[in-house]
């Protein structure tokens, strides 16, 4: 469940922002992993046709007063990269994953296990992405602490806040590896997505 204030805040962000055509989007979320202490991360995807300079960009949850998770470097078109919660536990669980942003503060971010927000801001502190997700139906409840991630079905989703855009990923997820087919929703994700509606 989520608080009404979460929604109000996100709506304010959305209303005040002219998003740059969803250039940078979230493709997978591990907000409540199976461990007693969550090993959390989100996967970002450069949905644009240009290399993005993420210097000064950052990620926040519903509390804009929290210390943000800083992004850095660049992302090429189609590249994916992981924002990790706590570096030590992430690298221990996923030793093969190397395409993550170096964390600037530890312990890092964590998302509420009862639903939360993911807000991404650019170097000018302008919101470029805002998502409210939940752990109750119609959101996929299989991503809520039993192992699997929360997985985006389509990069062409018209509204990422629509639960129908998301499904249950595999156990432990696939951080840093894009498993979705992108580029033509009509011929790929659109068909899969229809099954979940
Ligand atoms: Ca959590
Ligand atoms: Ca929960
Ligand atoms: Ca993935």
| Nearest C-alpha neighbor of 131 from the set 141, 143, 121, 117 | 117
* Nearest-ligand number for the alpha carbon of 146: 2
Task: Give the Å distance between the CA of 190 and the centre of ligand 1.
Answer: 30
Torsion of Cα atoms, 29 then 84 then 17 then 7, to 10°: 50
Q: Give residue 104's pLDDT band: very low, low, confident or very high (50, 70, 90).
A: confident
Task: Give the Å distance between the CA of 111 and the centre of ligand 1.
Answer: 4
Do residues 154 and 43 touch, judged by C-beta distance below 8 A? Answer: no
Do residues 73 and 79 touch, judged by C-beta distance below 8 A? Answer: no
The range of the structural domain enclosing residue 39 comes to: 4-196
pLDDT at residue 192, as a whole number: 42
* Nearest-ligand number for the alpha carbon of 139: 2
Cα 68 to Cα 87: distance, rounded to the nearest angstrom: 15
Which residue carries 């996923």 as its tokens? Answer: 94
Torsion of Cα atoms, 59 then 61 then 64 then 65, to 10°: -100
pLDDT at residue 183, as a whole number: 60
Identify the weakest region by mean pLDDT among 5-14, 161-170, 172-181: 5-14
Task: Give the Å distance between the CA of 137 and the centre of ligand 2.
Answer: 11
Average pLDDT over residues 103-118: 92
Task: Give the Å distance between the CA of 2 and the centre of ligand 2.
Answer: 10
pLDDT at residue 20, as a whole number: 54
5/22: higher pLDDT = 22
3-state secondary structure of 97: coil
Do residues 50 and 121 touch, judged by C-beta distance below 8 A? Answer: no
Q: Is the pLDDT of residue 157 over 90?
A: no
CATH code at 189?
Answer: 2.60.40.1260
Task: Give the Å distance between the CA of 179 and the centre of ligand 1.
Answer: 23
Task: Give the Å distance between the CA of 114 and the centre of ligand 2.
Answer: 4
Mean pLDDT for the chain overall: 86
Identify the weakest region by mean pLDDT among 12-26, 35-49, 110-124, 163-177: 12-26
pLDDT at residue 197, as a whole number: 34
Total tally of structural domains belonging to the chain = 1
Q: Is the pLDDT of residue 14 over 70?
A: no
135/11: higher pLDDT = 135
* Nearest-ligand number for the alpha carbon of 29: 3
Task: Give the Å distance between the CA of 1 and the centre of ligand 2.
Answer: 8
Task: Give the Å distance between the CA of 143 and the centre of ligand 2.
Answer: 9
Sign of the C-alpha dihedral computed for residues 122, 113, 80 and 66 taken in this order: positive
pLDDT at residue 156, as a whole number: 79
* Nearest-ligand number for the alpha carbon of 61: 1
Which residue carries 């139906």 as its tokens? Answer: 137
Number of CB atoms found within 10 A of residue 48's CB: 17
């Amino acid at each position: 469940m989520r608080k009404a204030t979460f929604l109000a805040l996100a709506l304010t962000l959305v209303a005040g922002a002219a998003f740059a055509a969803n250039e940078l989007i979230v493709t997978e979320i591990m907000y409540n992993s199976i461990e007693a202490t969550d090993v959390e991360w989100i996967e970002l995807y450069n949905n644009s046709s240009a290399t993005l300079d993420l210097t000064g960009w950052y990620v926040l949850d519903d509390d804009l007063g929290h210390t943000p998770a800083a992004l850095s470097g660049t992302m090429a078109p189609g590249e994916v990269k992981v924002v990790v919660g706590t570096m030590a536990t992430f690298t221990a669980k996923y030793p093969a994953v190397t395409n993550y942003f170096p964390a600037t503060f530890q312990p890092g971010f964590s998302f509420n296990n009862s639903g939360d927000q993911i807000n991404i801001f650019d170097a000018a502190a302008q919101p470029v992405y805002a998502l409210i997700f939940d752990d109750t139906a119609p959101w996929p409840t299989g991503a809520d602490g039993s192992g699997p991630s929360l997985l985006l079905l389509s990069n062409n989703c018209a509204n990422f806040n629509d639960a129908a855009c998301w499904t249950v990923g595999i156990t432990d997820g696939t951080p840093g590896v894009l498993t979705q087919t992108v580029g033509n929703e009509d011929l790929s994700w659109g068909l899969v997505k229809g099954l979940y509606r």
